[in-house]
Amino acid sequence: MTKLLPKIKIHPVFWLVIAAGTLTGHLWGTVMAFVIVLIHELGHALTARLFGWNVLEIELLPFGGVAKIDERETHPFYQECLVLIAGPLQNVWLPLLSYALLNFPFWGMNEHNLFFMQNNALLLFNLLPIWPLDGGRLTHVLMEMVYPYKLAYRRALCFSAIALGLFGVISLLLYPFSINSWIIFSFILVAIYKEWRVIPLRFIRFLLALSSGKQRFVRLKKLSVPGEMLLTEVFAMYYKNADHRLRIIGEPKSELDGIGLVRDYFKGDCEAATIRECL
Ligand SMILES: [Zn+2]
């Protein structure tokens, strides 16, 4: 059981929400939110474990949570999508549980309505295409399928920032005095900024994973690059879960193994600055 269930950590903001709920007499509602978020996160974590991923811990946030995955690993796109969808899927069956609980004396229509509202709010909010919500992560995976790794990361975060801006404007118009909205808005804004800052580190990890030889590539990308292009610029054109073949423009016989090049680069075997010098 301990192997199946990862460690569960509660984010300080969630403690704040729990404390606020207790002080304002909304303890029941806070407990419900806690259970809904926990089951949602277990959906992610257990699906990830099912695929053999190394889930380090689950962090619970007031509007969802994060299943923290070993970042040295890379996974097929279909697994990433299924793990992401497995969270919101729990919020699809949870209302049925609430209906069933109506047969018990401690669960009346008030509890049911509150549960229903909280569950649906979490479900809809979590599907917004904003990082680090599930919708935002899903957008990121879809972008990784289409764009090179680094570009996909940047586009997903830019898209998230724009979507968050829209969310902020709508919140301002509809609920200008909702403290909860502004706590969540600030939290997400900080999360996007922090993620943007670590893109270079994530990119190095991505290259290391590509060159580790442990991956089974699902696609082959053929890239044509100018000979004077810097190696680091060439690597920035690499895609996730892909093997790469490089060809220098104007030199028809110049085919290079893209992954081998990364390996040589990290080993220090390739001192060259530009791609032509590697021929
Ligand atoms: Zn989720």
- Report pLDDT digits (tens) over 154-208: 999 999 999 999 999 998 898 877 777 888 889 899 999 999 999 999 999 999 8
Are both 90 and 151 inside the same structural domain? no
231 is a domain residue = yes
Q: What distance in angstroms lies between residue 62's CA and the mean position of ligand 1's atoms?
A: 11
Here the tokens at position 42 are 């277990």
pLDDT at 272: 67
Residues paired with 222 in a beta bridge: 245
Residues 215 and 166 in one domain: no
For the beta sheet containing 255-257, the strands, ordered from the edge strand earlier in sequence to the opposite edge, are: 219-225, 242-248, 255-257
45, 97: one domain: yes
pLDDT in tens, 99-113: 898 898 888 888 899
What is the DSSP-derived secondary structure letter of residue 7?
Answer: E
Residue 162: what pLDDT?
97
Closest Cα to residue 231, out of 215, 217, 211?
A: 211
Classify residue 203: in a domain, yes or no. Answer: no
The Cα 87–Cα 256 span in angstroms is 41
Beta-carbon neighbours within 5 Å of ion ligand 1? 64, 87, 134
Check whether residue 114 and residue 191 sit in a common domain. no
Q: How many CA atoms lie within 13 A of 232 on its CB side?
A: 5
Q: Do 116 and 142 reside in the same domain of the chain? A: no
Give the domain extent around 100. Answer: 1-126
pLDDT(64) > 70: no
Among 107, 126, 145, identify where a domain stops: 126
Work out the pLDDT band at 72, boundaries 50, 70, 90.
low
Residue 78 burial (C-beta neighbours within 10 Å; 0-12, 13-18, 19+) = exposed
**One-letter identity of residue 65:** G
226, part of any domain: yes
Q: Between 61 and 122, name the one with better pLDDT.
A: 122
pLDDT of residue 4: 65
Identify the residue with better confidence: 69 or 159: 159
| CB distance 8 to 60 below 8 Å | yes
Does residue 111 fall inside a structural domain?
A: yes
Of the listed ranges 22-26, 153-157, 245-249, the least confidently predicted one is 22-26
Domain ends where: 197, 227, 254?
197
| Cα–Cα dist 203/78, whole Å | 21
Active site residue 57: no
Residue 73 lies in a domain: yes
Residue 266 belongs to a domain: yes
Contact predicate 187/61, CB 8 Å: yes
**Distance between CA 58 and CA 52 in Å, rounded?**
16
Residues 101, 1 within the same domain: yes
Rounded to the nearest angstrom, the distance between the alpha carbon of 171 and the centre of ligand 1 is 22
Pair (2, 121) in one structural domain: yes
Q: Are 104 and 215 part of one and the same domain?
A: no
Rounded CA separation 37/267 (Å): 44
Question: How crowded is residue 210: how many other Cβ atoms within 10 Å of its Cβ?
Answer: 25
Flag whether 193 is in a domain.
Answer: yes
Residue 3: pLDDT band (50, 70, 90) is low
Structure-model confidence comparison of residues 15 and 98, the more confident one: 98
- Asked if 17 and 75 sit in the same domain, the reply is yes
Same domain, residue pair 141 and 114 = no
Exposed/middle/buried for 193, CB within 10 Å: 0-12, 13-18, 19+? exposed
Q: How many whole angstroms separate alpha carbon 60 and alpha carbon 8?
A: 7
> Do 253 and 265 lie in a common domain?
yes
Ramachandran quadrant class, 225 (left: phi over 0; alpha: psi -120 to 50; beta: rest): beta
Give the pLDDT score at 95. 92
Report the separation in Å between the CA atom of 138 and the middle of ligand 1, taken as the mean of its atom positions: 10
Instruction: Classify residue 202: in a domain, yes or no.
Output: no
Q: How far is the CA of 114 from the centre of ligand 1 (A)?
A: 20
Look at residue 1 and tell me whether its pLDDT is greater than 50. no
Judgement on whether residues 251 and 138 belong to the same structural domain of the protein = no
The total domain count for the chain is 3
Domain boundary among 152, 173, 197: 197
